[in-house]
Each structure stands twice: as C-alpha cells, then as structure tokens.
C-alpha cells in the first residue's frame, strides 16, 4: 500500500483559494450559482462537508472542470483520513494467492 506522506488538500479549500477568492465571489453568490444552499457550500469550504457526485457535477459545470476532478480530490482526502485516523484496518490479514484463487 502506498501511503501518502502529506495530507491532501480538502476540496473545500481549493474552492475557496483557487476560485472564490481570485474571482471575488462570495459563498452566498457561489451557492446560488451552484443551486445549493449557502449552508451546504459553507460546510464544504470549511472542511466539514464532502463533495458528493451531485456537487461534483455542479462544480464541474460552474468551473469548467470535470466532475472526476472533484471526486478524485475528495477520494484522496477521504483515503488519507481513513488511513491516518484509524489503525483498525491494519489488523486485516492479507489473503494468500491460494485463498484468492481457490475456486477458479
């Protein structure tokens, strides 16, 4: 497993720093553009909410990017969080080749 050393940037911070600030757009204005509530967008920007597939589609349309970009940013962030916030997953034993291919 390739462990990322640095915590990935939350997509909300990217929205804030790379789009809202340079474009001088408020959270309220952007929420209106996206067709979501200010509360929904604010949660994402403040790293208390995640990018959903629906939000990824909206962001992709608004910023002329792909929805995959936003989903991949969220996925990277979520995986880093899971890997670093809990060690329970490390207790899982890797299956052997024989076990994996026993019924083939």
Tens of pLDDT, residues 32-68: 999 999 999 999 999 999 999 999 999 999 999 999 9
Average per-residue pLDDT in the chain?
94
Query: pTM score, two decimals?
Result: 0.85
pLDDT at 47: 97
* C-beta of residue 27 within 8 angstroms of C-beta of residue 40: no
The domain spans of the chain are 11-100
Q: Quote the DSSP letter at residue 31.
A: H
CATH architecture of 11-100: Orthogonal Bundle (1.10)
Q: Quote the DSSP letter at residue 92.
A: S
Query: What span, in angstroms and rounded, lies between the C-alpha atoms of 10 and 58?
Result: 17
Q: Which residues contact 13 (CB under 8 A, 6 or more apart)?
A: 45, 47
- Indicate the range of 22-31, 69-78, 83-92 predicted with least confidence: 83-92
* C-beta of residue 47 within 8 angstroms of C-beta of residue 10: yes
Instruction: Supply the DSSP string of 34-80, one letter for each residue.
Output: HTS-HHHHHHHHTTSS---HHHHHHHHHHHT--HHHHHHHHHHHHHH
pLDDT over 90 (residue 89): no
> SS3 of 89, please?
helix
Greatest alpha-carbon pair distance for the chain in Å reads 59
């Amino acid at each position: 497993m390739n462990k990322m050393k640095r915590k990935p940037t939350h997509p909300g911070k990217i929205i804030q720093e790379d789009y809202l600030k340079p474009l001088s757009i408020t959270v309220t204005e952007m929420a209106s553009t996206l067709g979501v509530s200010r509360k929904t967008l604010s949660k994402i920007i403040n790293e208390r909410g995640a990018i959903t597939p629906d939000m990824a589609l909206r962001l992709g349309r608004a910023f002329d990017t792909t929805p995959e970009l936003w989903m991949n940013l969220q996925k990277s962030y979520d995986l880093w969080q899971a890997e670093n916030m809990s060690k329970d997953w490390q207790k899982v034993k890797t299956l052997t080749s024989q076990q994996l291919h026993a019924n083939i």
